[in-house]
Amino acid sequence: MCIFLFSTEKFIKKTSEELKHYDGKAIIAVSGGVDSSVACILVHKIFGDRLKAVFVDTGFLRKGEITEVSLKFKKLGIPLKTVEARDVFLKNLKGVADPEKKRKIIGKTFIEIFDSEAKAFGADFLVQGTIAPDWIESGSGIRDTIKSHHNVGGLPKNMKLKLIEPLRDLYKDEVRLLAEEYGLRKDLYWSQPFPGPGLAIRVLGELTEEKINICRQANAVVCDEIFSSFEKKEIPSLPWQYFAVVLDSKSVGIQGDIRAYGYTIAVRAVEATDGLTATYARLPQDLLEKISIRITNELKGVNRVVYDVTHKPPGSIEWE
């Protein structure tokens, strides 16, 4: 039924022509995700050495992600600078519980880092892998702000760097076609979207190192189990996105005959194409059970797991 007319060839040709009009140097903010990687390849082909890729370790990354991203860019033959900024992010977010404030502080911290990297490199431009839902959900004018995406809503008004956003009109499914065109390897990290603020918005409310660690481990369990279930052909395909959220309330449980009062993990898996609407994924009960047993047994301080059965709308995909 879907009549799909997006042509990667036409898009690459047209965008490459437009990119030729820029003089000077640029830095690109990469996360290792599909959007910024595709933007990077696209711009690198035109800019060459005039482009520098910067990857920020926010402290909110997934298990093994830094190694994974470094390897990926090595394979692409694009030099990557990793900026260690864990303490800065955590410090800036201390005591902040409101999700919009969290997102805006994260966006601002990113920009401060990019500003200083751009200065060092002598760049006038900042390339971002912004796609349509990022600016749509960030709102402006009469469009309500659903959530401020770090790459849009967090940008300061007096920003000196000029933005280049070659994927601004595209959706995730179209970017994935471009990724295939560029022969990007498919793996666990490629297979699903991961937000720029990372685990910081999967720990609800105020952040602590303890909760971020729980969140990182819980996300790794969800990914492991869903991926292994897919490899064993127990599920026909991977859901569009799947992850774990640490809730900001505790509940009573019993672990080894001892009263437990611990964190609740919400597991979310959704099916979507462009991410503007989504249905919750109907994962097999056995798979959910495995995830629940592993999380409550392996993670200290967690005694309950719930599964999110909300479509979008009314829920959004991420919880914050």
Binding site for other proteins (CB under 8 A): 1-6, 132, 136-137, 141-144, 146, 169, 171, 272-274, 276-279, 311-314
Q: Contact, 40 vs 181, CB < 8 A? A: no
The residue among 277 and 297 lying less far from other proteins, judged by its C-beta, is 277
For the bound state, the minimum distance from the C-beta of residue 172 to other proteins, rounded and expressed in Å, comes to: 11
The residue among 213 and 316 lying less far from other proteins, judged by its C-beta, is 316
Integer angstrom CA distances of residue 74 from 22, 43, 53, 65, 69: 26, 17, 12, 14, 9
How far, in whole angstroms, is CA 314 from its chain's centroid?
Answer: 21
For the bound state, the minimum distance from the C-beta of residue 165 to other proteins, rounded and expressed in Å, comes to: 14
| Residue tagged 């629940």 (tokens) | 292
Burial bucket for residue 37 (CB in 10 Å: 0-12, 13-18, 19+): buried
User: Which residues are registered as beta bridge partners of 252?
Assistant: 261
The SS3 call for residue 249 is strand
The residue among 139 and 301 lying less far from other proteins, judged by its C-beta, is 139
For the bound state, the minimum distance from the C-beta of residue 47 to other proteins, rounded and expressed in Å, comes to: 28
Other CB atoms within 10 Å distance of the CB of residue 8: 15
CA 204 – CA 318 distance, rounded (Å)? 11
CA dihedral sign, ordered 94, 223, 192, 272: negative
At a CB cut-off of 8 Å and minimum separation 6, what does 93 contact? 102, 105, 106, 200, 207
For the bound state, the minimum distance from the C-beta of residue 99 to other proteins, rounded and expressed in Å, comes to: 17
CA 244 – CA 222 distance, rounded (Å)? 7
The residue among 111 and 270 lying less far from other proteins, judged by its C-beta, is 270
For the bound state, the minimum distance from the C-beta of residue 201 to other proteins, rounded and expressed in Å, comes to: 18
The residue among 75 and 311 lying less far from other proteins, judged by its C-beta, is 311
The residue among 255 and 277 lying less far from other proteins, judged by its C-beta, is 277
For the bound state, the minimum distance from the C-beta of residue 182 to other proteins, rounded and expressed in Å, comes to: 22
The residue among 90 and 136 lying less far from other proteins, judged by its C-beta, is 136
Could you report how far apart the first and last alpha carbons of the chain are, in Å? Answer: 34
For the bound state, the minimum distance from the C-beta of residue 54 to other proteins, rounded and expressed in Å, comes to: 28
For the bound state, the minimum distance from the C-beta of residue 168 to other proteins, rounded and expressed in Å, comes to: 10
The residue among 6 and 261 lying less far from other proteins, judged by its C-beta, is 6
Integer angstrom CA distances of residue 183 from 18, 36, 160, 179: 23, 15, 34, 6
54: phi > 0 → left, psi -120 to 50 → alpha, else beta; which?
beta
